[in-house]
Chains A and B, each alone.
Chain A
Amino acid sequence: MALRGVTGRARFPCDVATYAMGIDKVEPSDADLVRRVRTGDTGAYGALVSRYRDRLGRYAVHMIGDREDAEEALQDSFVRAYRSLARCDDPARFGAWLYGILVNRCRTTGARAARRRRMFVHDAQALDGAAHTDRADQLDWTDAVDRALARLAPDYREAFLLKHVEDLEYEEIAELTGAGVSALKMRVKRAREQLQKYLREAEHV
C-alpha cells in the first residue's frame, strides 16, 4: 500500500551528543523531558531549549538573515512549542516537531526582514559596482556568502538550508514545508545554481 509519510529514520536523535558541544552522555532523552514537562515539571523544558537553541538558531539566522529577528523567531517558536506541547504526538520526535514550528515562524518573519534585505542587496550590488573599480575593496568571502544567500528567493533558501545545512531528508522537508519532494529538489538545485552565480559575480572584482 502506498502511504505518503516520513520515512522511519530519525534525524533528530534523542540525545544530541553528536551535535551539541560538551554535553554529558547521560542526558535524558527528548521523550523523557517532554513527559516531565507534561506532568508539570516546567523546568525540564529549559533543558530542551538549551539542547535545540543553537541548532535551530543556526537555521533561523541563515533563513531570516538578521540575528535579532532570528532570535525573536526562535524564542517565539520555543514558547509556542511549549504552549502546544499536548499536540506533539511523538515526544521522541520533539526536535522534528519543533523544527516545523520554527520553519513556519521564519516564514512570517521573512516579510519584515525582506524589506531590510532588499535594501541590503541594493547596497551589495552598488558595492560590486564600486569594487570593479577598486580591487582593494574586495568583499570578504563570508560576507559574500551571506549576501548571496540573502538574494535567494525564500522558497529556495528554505529548501537549500534544510537539505544541505540541516541535513534533513526530502521527505522530512516535505512534511515541514508542505511542498512536494520533486518541487523541493528543483528548489535546491536552483538555489545551488544561483549561489554559484552570485559568488562568481562577487569574485570577479
Chain B
Amino acid sequence: MFEREDETVERVIQHLRRPAAIDPGLDARVMRAITQAPPYRRRVWPLWSLLAAAAVLAVVLIARPWNRNATSKADTLQFVLVAPQAASVALVGDFNDWDPARSPMQTAQGVWATVLRLAPGRYRYAFLVNGVEWRADPGAPAAKDDEFGTPSSVVTVGGRGS
C-alpha cells in the first residue's frame, strides 16, 4: 500500500510537470505595459546624477530646510544640534562612513547645522561634540540597538515620493 501511494504522488508530480500552455500573446501584453512607462533608464538614479543634482540644488535647498521633492527618490535633509558651548560638532553616521572629518557642521549662535542629500535607506547617526562627546539627535527616533555604548539616532529615507 505504501508503494502504491508513493506511486500515486509520483504520477501526480509527472502530470503537473507538463508544460502549461500559456498564451504567447502574454509577451506582447507585458511589453506593451512596460513601454507605456518611461524607459527603464529614467527610473534609475545612478550615483553621478544624484551628485550632479545635489551640486545644482545645494544653494537653493540650504535656504529651505526639510525640502522634499515629491518626485525624486533621494532626500535632502538638514541636521541640527543646539550646542552653544561646543567648539566643534561633526555629524557622523552610516551615510559618511562614521568619519568625523566628512561632515563638519556650521554654527550660528550655538545652533549647529549641515545639509546632506541621502539615497533611500535607514541611517544610524550621531553628533560628535568637541571630538569626544557623543550625542543623539533629540529630534529624531533613537537607534535602539546601541551596541557600542553611546547614543545614536535614526533617519530613514523611504525611496518612494510621498
In the complex, A74 has a CB within 8 A of chain B: yes
Please, which residue of chain A has its CB at the minimum distance from the CB of B36?
Answer: A79
**Do B16 and A79 touch across chains, with their CB atoms under 8 A apart?**
no
Which single member of A71, A192, A199, A200 contacts B23 (CB below 8 Å)? A71
Q: How far is the CB of B22 from chain A (nearest CB, A)?
A: 4
B residues contacting the other copy or chain, number (CB 8 A): 29
**Do B20 and A83 touch across chains, with their CB atoms under 8 A apart?**
no
**Do B22 and A74 touch across chains, with their CB atoms under 8 A apart?**
yes
In the complex, B12 has a CB within 8 A of chain A: yes
Say which size band chain A's interface belongs to.
Answer: 35 or more
In the complex, A108 has a CB within 8 A of chain B: no
Dominant SS among interface residues on chain B: helix
**Do A164 and B13 touch across chains, with their CB atoms under 8 A apart?**
yes
Which single member of B5, B22, B41 contacts A53 (CB below 8 Å)? B22
Interface residues of B, Cβ cutoff 8 Å to A:
5, 8-9, 12-13, 15-24, 26-27, 29-31, 33-35, 37, 39-41, 43-44
Can you offer 16 A-B residue contacts whose CB atoms are under 8 A? A37-B40, A42-B31, A43-B31, A46-B27, A46-B31, A49-B27, A49-B31, A53-B26, A57-B20, A70-B20, A79-B34, A145-B12, A145-B15, A165-B16, A195-B9, A200-B8
